[in-house]
Chain A
Amino acid sequence: MAEPNREGGVGEAHANHVAHHFDTAEQQFESGKLGMWIFLATEILLFGGLFCAYAVYRSNHPEIFVYAHRFLDKTLGAINTAVLICSSFTMALAVRAAQLGRTKALVRLLAATIALACCFLGIKGVEYEHKWKEGLLWGRRFHATLEQPAGAGNAVVQPSAPAGMNPEERSLIPPAAVGPRGLARPGQRAPGDEELGPPKNVQTFFAVYFLMTGLHGVHVIAGMIVLTLMLLRARRGEFGPGYFTPVDLAGLYWHLVDLIWIYLFPLLYLIR
């Protein structure tokens, strides 16, 4: 976005960065910032589609999500969350360093942010590899053999319809005191009775998991490319108190990438 007009070489740091169609540097900065916020809105809407799909499938088939989320590694997910939060912190410090004109600190902090992003992707790679080996994949590629936990079936009291009543109307009957809560329909299990064995269509959860984390991963990579460009420009000493818009905007983008993960982690790993 609002990139500087580089035709004029160095010198007069302020005027150089103002493109010909802007009156002042402030107008240019504000335009860049507004543009970035609008772009971030489009990113949220892009992920919004996936969050929507998540909500639809989880509300239609909660048993799949409750059952399948146990195959995700909570520890690695938590570590990754911490890693990303740390990277947001270093990014915020980098923006501060750019504003204060501390070029050396800026370069170091950007490098730290990129390193943390690499760390995140590495851990994510380990997780993906486990899933791949066990065949816990999406839709057509799903080929894991799901275990039948011992003592399946009989232990749980199911709400049942009195004789002569249409089984479709079972949901009219209040749940038994010890039984699973909520409505029961034929072929669907209520959340909480995963002891009955794997539900149908477990692959749906992994489709959602790989789509959401995959798209997020692509955004992490895009962010790393942007941060690397910032790093190179920072080393040339392009940023200072008079001009730090690109670092600021890259920072906004990076925070958004972190924020999305902060929603993904509980939605996928911490289901109850």
Chain B
Amino acid sequence: MERDETTTAGANPPMGNALGADNYLRHGRGLKSWLFTLDHKRIGVMYLVSILASFLLGGVFALLVRTKLLTPGNSALMSADHYNQMFTLHGAVMIFLFVIPGIPAALGNFVLPLMLGAKDVAFPRLNLASYYMWVIGAVMALISMTTGAVDTGWTFYTPYSTTTNTSVIMMVAGVFVLGFSSIFTGLNFVVTIHKLRPAGMTWFRMPLFLWGLYGTAIIQIMATPVLGITLLLLIAERALGVGIFDPALGGDPVLFQHFFWFYSHPAVYIMILPAMGVISELVSVFSRKHIFGYTFIALSSIAIAVISFLVWGHHMFVAGQSNLASMIFSALTFMVAIPSAVKVFNWVATMYKGSIWLATPMVYVLSFLFLFGIGGLTGLFLGALATDVHLHDTYFVVAHFHYVMFGGTVIAFLGGLYYWWPKMFGRMYSDLWGRVAALLIFVGFNTTFFTQFVMGSHGAPRRSYHYLPEFQRYHQLSTLGSYILGIGFVIVAVNLIHSLFRGRPAPANPWGGATLEWRTASPPPHDNFATTPVAGDPYDVEAWRYDRTIGGFVPRAAGDSPAVG
């Protein structure tokens, strides 16, 4: 059944499944060979396991919050103080531990050098350091949770964050350390993309996932240090009373908001840009058609990265900034919609007249297009000055944010995970259960968050423990949706873990992708490629044909030389 590597020995990389042969998972045994590895693939896998654990933790917090909100009054499940801590920890864990490192550090780390035909990222040690920075930051966040937690919301707004008696310093210091992890990853990716591209891969022949990661890395490098200094100032404020954000000592609390959003608005593009990169790959492969509008998609990533630095003031429309500043920020916010829409239109155009293959990753792509569309357009409601005054700090904001971050990033992350899973572990999962879970997640997600749009436009304030009884129906529907979501994720987990032990061995190219990572065995050998492959058009998917005997794709040309593609 499996293609024998020896038949393509010599100049060609081994094709087919390498579970029994020498692969990166078997290259070196024991815990130490993992903990001190410099292999980007292993670091990617360690990141993947760690961020999925964080996702589970953040998800449990979310379900607890939703369960409390079944009733409008006091709840036996948690007190109001615990409720404040719970939604804060949900936000902080999901944002800083899961979504920001999610696609770049886990999937990106694994895929980026493979897509470049390189042996590793430019600085393997820095890559490992990045992972350990993540671990230290996560441990500090856990210490904070067990020593009083945090109840400020994930934004740590002053003056509340400097006066509450919860464990703010430990959490903020943890986030500071996580910032190093993020900067290291971004720095590594920029240098790798600049210096380690293979022969034949010009900037505009790079896979679009790399453009997404490049834009992300630029933001990580340029925005995270500002968050770093902001958090240091917050720590200094709490520990030493420097008074820089304290009006009683001549400081300005709104300055904190400026600093914080100068990072945190670009940070939402750190979260969404790599997701857009994943979608760009998947939509072409599963439509069996060349990507439409390559240059526009590539440059729109850079446009989004640039504009993202100029819109932070739209978080502060009601924080007393001048009308002129608000108008400028509002106009710039509307501009972000242009490159985002350029991407969406190009993806839809790619699907047009393609032969769409509804495998699990593609189901997530379709999910993404719907949910990101809704999330993006509702962002314009919030960017418009007049409507924002009404919608500010309501459930509408919560729903918008989740449509973009969950409906956008998490859905794309899942699509990417299902797409690269056979490459990572050399096993196929059950496609049927993959699609069932995707459908459940889609239904559960919309039930949870669409109701919050309705609630928010009726004026329900976010983050409150008590609420008016008239909103109870919505809250109960939303909670029901969150349980459906939970079930969907359980099926995802069972399906993927089951595949690790019982899954069919994956062929080298199960989906017919034309990017370089599919030209090596599944899972790849320690050095990625026997010889450095020459890059061609990354979206020439029609050069691969399905081969029933191996359950995967092979190059269309006779002789089956992968270099022909």
Contact = CB atoms under 8 A, between A and B. Distances in A.
B124 A19 contact: yes
Contacts of B120: 20-21
B194 interface: yes
Nearest to A27: B195
Given A30-B195, A42-B183, A203 B225 contact: no
Interface string B283-309: 000000000000000000000000000
B229 A38 contact: no
A31 B122 contact: yes
B251 A49 contact: no
Interface in B215-252: 221-222, 224-226, 228-230, 232-233, 236-237, 240-244, 246, 249-252
A232 interface: no
Given A19-B124, A21-B119, A56-B252, A49 B230 contact: yes
B123 A46 contact: no
A50 B195 CA distance: 33
Contacts of A38: 187, 190-191, 221
B241 A138 contact: yes
A46 B226 CA distance: 5
A41 interface: yes
A46 B229 contact: yes
A184 to B, nearest CB: 19
A140 B237 CA distance: 9
Interface stretch (A146-154, A170-178, A204-212): A204-212
A64 B225 CA distance: 28
B187 A48 contact: no
A105 to B, nearest CB: 29
B125 interface: yes
A200 B250 CA distance: 8
A2 B123 contact: yes
Contacts of B125: 3
B259 interface: yes
Residue among B122, B190, B259 having the largest count of chain A Cβ atoms under 10 Å: B122
Interface in B114-156: 118-126
A201 interface: yes
Given A46-B225, A204-B250, A34 B126 contact: no
B243 A138 contact: yes
Interface string B465-490: 00000000000000000000000000
Given A31-B122, A41-B221, A49-B233, A139 B243 contact: yes
Interface string A35-78: 10011011101111110110011001100100000000000000
A200 B248 CA distance: 11
Interface string A189-200: 000000000001
Contacts of B118: 21
B240 A140 contact: yes
B361 to A, nearest CB: 29
Nearest to B251: A204
Contacts of A1: 123, 126
A141 interface: yes
Contact of B222 (A19, A45, A64, A211): A45
B53 interface: no
B222 A49 contact: no
A250 to B, nearest CB: 16
B255 interface: yes
Contacts of A41: 221-222
Interface in A117-164: 138-141
B250 A42 contact: no
Contacts of A42: 183, 187, 221-222, 224-225
A21 B113 CA distance: 10
B196 interface: yes
Residue among A21, A27, A210 having the largest count of chain B Cβ atoms under 10 Å: A21
Contacts of A43: 225
A203 B249 contact: yes
Nearest to A50: B229
A204 B226 contact: no
A192 to B, nearest CB: 20
Nearest to B243: A139
Contacts of A207: 242-244, 249, 251
A211 B188 CA distance: 30
Residue among A34, A46, A61 having the largest count of chain B Cβ atoms under 10 Å: A46
Contacts of B183: 42
Contact of B259 (A3, A27, A47, A49): A49
Contact of A48 (B226, B241, B244, B255): B226
B207 to A, nearest CB: 19
A60 B254 CA distance: 13
Contacts of A50: 229
Contacts of A39: 187
A247 to B, nearest CB: 18
Contact of A139 (B124, B187, B251): B251
Residue among A2, A31, A57 having the largest count of chain B Cβ atoms under 10 Å: A31
Given A19-B124, A203-B250, A211-B236, A53 B244 contact: yes
B237 to A, nearest CB: 8
Contacts of A35: 122-123, 126, 187-188, 191
Contact of B244 (A45, A141, A211): A211
Contacts of A56: 252, 255
B264 to A, nearest CB: 13
B246 A139 contact: yes
Contacts of A49: 225-226, 228-230, 233, 259
Nearest to A1: B123
Interface string A17-35: 0011100000100110011
Contacts of A139: 237, 240-244, 246, 249, 251
A141 B240 contact: yes
A47 B221 CA distance: 14
B262 to A, nearest CB: 8
A204 B122 contact: no
A31 B240 CA distance: 40
A64 B249 CA distance: 13
A179 B252 CA distance: 30
B526 to A, nearest CB: 10
A169 B226 CA distance: 37
B250 A61 contact: yes
B142 to A, nearest CB: 26
Nearest to A38: B187
Contacts of B124: 19, 21
Nearest to B527: A20
Residue among B225, B236, B252 having the largest count of chain A Cβ atoms under 10 Å: B225
Nearest to B230: A49
B250 to A, nearest CB: 3
A163 B125 CA distance: 73
Given A21-B196, A56-B255, A57-B250, 11 more contacts: A1-B123, A21-B113, A21-B121, A31-B195, A61-B250, A139-B244, A201-B250, A203-B249, A204-B250, A207-B244, A211-B233
A-B pairs with lowest CB-CB distance, top 6: A139-B243, A201-B250, A140-B241, A49-B229, A21-B119, A45-B225
Interface of B: 113, 118-126, 183, 187-188, 190-191, 194-196, 221-222, 224-226, 228-230, 232-233, 236-237, 240-244, 246, 249-252, 255, 259, 527
15 contacts: A21-B113, A21-B121, A27-B195, A38-B191, A42-B222, A43-B225, A46-B225, A46-B226, A49-B225, A139-B246, A203-B250, A207-B243, A207-B244, A207-B251, A211-B236
